[in-house]
Amino acid sequence: MNKKRTSDSVREFVSRPAFDESAIPGKDPSFPWISVVTPSFNQGDFLERTILSVLNQDYPNLEYIIIDGGSTDRSIEIIKKYEKYLAYWVTEKDNGQSDAINKGFRRSTGEILAWLNSDDLYLPGTLLKVGRFFLSKPHVDVLYGDLFIADSEERILRAMKEVGFYKKALMHGAMNINQQSMFWRKRAFAKAGPLRNLHFYMDGYLLLSFVKSSVTIWHIPDTLAVFRVHSGTKTSDGKKYFYEYRELHKEFFGLDIESVPCRLFRLCHSLRRLVLFVIQGDLGYILSGLRTKLLGIRISSLLNKSG
């Protein structure tokens, strides 16, 4: 992967409106309706690029909903700029991100659902790939793909690839599907939703609920989204995120992911992933991941010594 070229293409995709303003939603019945919900609160620095990453998909049957939590920055000005292309939007105080997402899904009418946080992005062609996939696989309830991690200026930091869904790996804390690249049928959400009011791991709660509901989950080896990391990213608070993650696994499966059996399972699954990536010809991805880990260890060691 050429990071510079990829970063430039992502930046170009969200730099300006590039969608067909004359397109009439619902004109092409061959594609399923996709409802995308964006929860937002004071994300004016990123919100417009998130909106453009959705609208610039030029997907024929898009229902785009924005639920703002009463922002006091320039978010409302940005939303109003695109409001005629939105199915619904509101700005009002809510009870947090989960509440905003649930509110958006209650408004949605699409057959396929997803949410995209107001600092993340879809890649070009994502919704067309998703629509075609669900048309071709009527038995599949949940789809997930791969993603890029980028900084606040759309510089790609690394790729995040997944392997095919393996229930036991998820139960033991060895697999965590990224919400940015996950889409699901409304019938699956009717079984597993709504989201619980969590501060960090609401996406994980939904995923665990899908597993408990025995819906069909499928991976495609295609990069669908960009997860942006910056100083305001909630998941940067790793301890609180991990606490919710651990407690939910205990609740859903009766497993402590810090126990020795779970740790051993994660080690075996890591080796399994390694073999699968080698078989797929992803040696470059493996080497990149090793470099990232070694660099992280080295930086951590230097910081500890200097402290």
**DSSP assignment of 88-106, as one string?**
EEEE---SSHHHHHHHHHH
162-182 pLDDT, tens digit per residue, is 999 999 999 999 998 999 999
What average pLDDT score do residues 74-81 get? 98
The rounded distance, in Å, linking the Cα atoms of 26 and 18 is 19
3-state secondary structure 27-88: CCCCCCCEEEEEEECCCCCCHHHHHHHHHCCCCCCEEEEEEECCCCCCHHHHHHHCHHHCCE
Checking if the pLDDT of 307 tops 70, the result is no
Does residue 273 lie in a domain region?
no
Per-residue b or e along 25-52, where b marks 16 or more CB atoms closer than 10 Å to that residue's CB? eeeeeebbbbbbbbbbbbbbebbbbbbb
Question: What is the predicted pLDDT for the residue at 285?
Answer: 74
What pLDDT, on a 0 to 100 scale, did the predictor assign at position 174? 94
Task: Determine, yes or no, domain membership for 267.
Answer: no
Is the CB of residue 149 less than 8 Å from the CB of residue 158?
yes
296 pLDDT higher than 60: no
Strand partners, 114: 36
Task: Return the pLDDT at 299.
Answer: 36
Task: Name the β-bridge partners of 68.
Answer: 40, 91
Does 233 or 58 have the greater pLDDT score?
58
Q: Give the model's pLDDT for residue 104.
A: 98
Residue 137, pLDDT above cutoff 50: yes
Per-residue pLDDT band at 298 (split at 50, 70, 90): very low
Is the pLDDT at 252 greater than 50, yes or no?
yes
In a domain, 289, yes or no: no
Whether 227 is in a domain gets the answer yes
Distance, CA of 131 to CA of 144 (rounded, Å): 13
Question: What is the C-alpha to C-alpha distance for residues 87 and 36, in angstroms, rounded to an integer?
Answer: 10
Query: What per-residue confidence (pLDDT) applies to 110?
Result: 97
Residues 6+ positions from 55 with CB-CB distance below 8 Å:
17, 19, 62, 64, 82, 85
**Residue 305 counted as domain residue:** no
Q: Cα separation of 16 and 32, whole Å?
A: 26
Output the CA–CA distances (angstroms, integers) from residue 85 to 11, 66, 130, 225, 289, in the order listed.
Answer: 22, 11, 20, 21, 40
pLDDT for res 85:
96
Per-residue model confidence as pLDDT tens digits over 191-204: 999 999 998 899 99
Q: Is 297 a residue whose pLDDT tops 60?
A: no
Mean pLDDT of 23-41: 90
What's the mean per-residue pLDDT of the chain?
Answer: 90
Q: What is the pLDDT of residue 1?
A: 73
Q: Which of 25-29, 102-106, 273-277 has the highest mean pLDDT?
A: 102-106
Residue 14: inside a domain? yes
* 116 in a structural domain: yes
Q: What is the pLDDT of residue 293?
A: 59
Please give the pLDDT value at position 5.
82
Choose among 223, 229, 219, 50: nearest CA to 147: 223
Residue 102's domain comprises 3-258
- Domain tally, the chain: 1
The enclosing domain of 99 has a CATH number of 3.90.550.10
110-114, 184-188, 283-287: the lowest-pLDDT one: 283-287
- Residue 240 inside a domain? The answer is yes
**What residues contact 185, with CB distance under 8 A and at least 6 apart?**
111, 112, 113, 134, 141, 142
